[in-house]
Amino acid sequence: QVKELVLDNCRSEDGKVVGLSSDFENLEFLSMININLLSVSNLPKLNKLRKLELSDNRISGGLEVLAEKTPNLTHLNLSGNKIKDINTLEPLKKLPNLHSLDLFNCEVTMLINYRESVFALLPQLTYLDGFDADEQEAPDSDPEADGDALEDEYENGEEEDDLDEEVIDDEEDEDDDLEGEEEEDGVDDEEEDEEEDGEDEEDEAEDDHPCGQKRKRSLEDEGEEDPEDEEDDEDD
């Protein structure tokens, strides 16, 4: 019940597919990147295969085998192979579900009007080399990649939220500190005003009531006697 099989870099000595049989009939994804393939003639019948990766090999033709052995193919990657002519791609017409074809780094891409010619030859195609006929890039359809992107976005969102909360907390702390300083300044100013008012009242009291001088004068008056009283005492 194998649905995905990756044979990348498993070099083929004779340039043909080796080891695959009808036992892999449930395959939906097959990758044979850089295995020195010259031909796909030995490919078994894979009716359920949807995506086939054949990049970085030496395939130059024989694509009619794909139409016969993988009739439901939707994605085909032939980048980095030896495909030189548009006519080499003609057998792909028989793949009605093929909507993504990659020929990057193939000589055929150097031809004049290459993209227009391929889209005209294979009208079922939606994307060629990752872009549609209007040069719009193909969306990433890899579920795992999409999941990673969502996780990264979620983590970044949490980090941003944490940063926002920290900034808000810092601003609140700064506001509290400023209010505390203003209150302390207000208390200090009131105390200073009260002290100054007290000193002024004491000074005014001293000026209005020179008690010290009055007391001194009264004592001096008590110490002096009337001369007439002294003469009366002598007569007696």
Q: Where are the domains of the chain?
A: 4-128
Phi, psi torsion values for 124, nearest 5 degrees? -75, -15
pLDDT at residue number 168: 54
pTM for the model stands at: 0.60
Exposed e or buried b per residue across 123-132, where buried means at least 16 C-beta atoms within 10 angstroms of its C-beta: eebebbbeeb
Q: For residues 105 and 145, which has the higher predicted lDDT (pLDDT)? A: 105
Q: How much of the chain exceeds pLDDT 90, in percent? A: 49
CATH of 4-128, one of 3.40.50.20, 3.30.70.1400, 3.40.50.300, 3.80.10.10: 3.80.10.10
Q: 170 falls in which pLDDT band (50, 70, 90)?
A: low
Contacts of 87-90 spanning 24+ positions with Cβ under 8 A = 88/60, 88/61, 88/63, 89/63, 89/118, 89/121, 89/122, 90/121
pLDDT at residue number 191: 53
List, for residues 178-218, the tens digit of each pLDDT value: 555 545 555 455 555 555 555 555 454 444 444 444 444 44
Q: 14 falls in which pLDDT band (50, 70, 90)?
A: confident
In the predicted model, is pLDDT for residue 120 greater than 90?
Answer: yes
At a CB cut-off of 8 Å and minimum separation 6, what does 21 contact? 44
H helices within the chain, ranges in order?
64-69, 114-121, 143-208, 211-223, 227-235
How is residue 138 written in tokens? 């193909």
Mean pLDDT, residues 35-53 taken together: 94
Question: 């007391």: which residue's tokens?
Answer: 215
CA angle 51/129/96 to nearest 5° reads 50
In the predicted model, is pLDDT for residue 174 greater than 70?
Answer: no
pLDDT at residue number 231: 45
Mean pLDDT value across the chain: 75
Q: Are 40 and 66 in contact (CB under 8 A)?
A: yes
pLDDT at residue number 153: 47
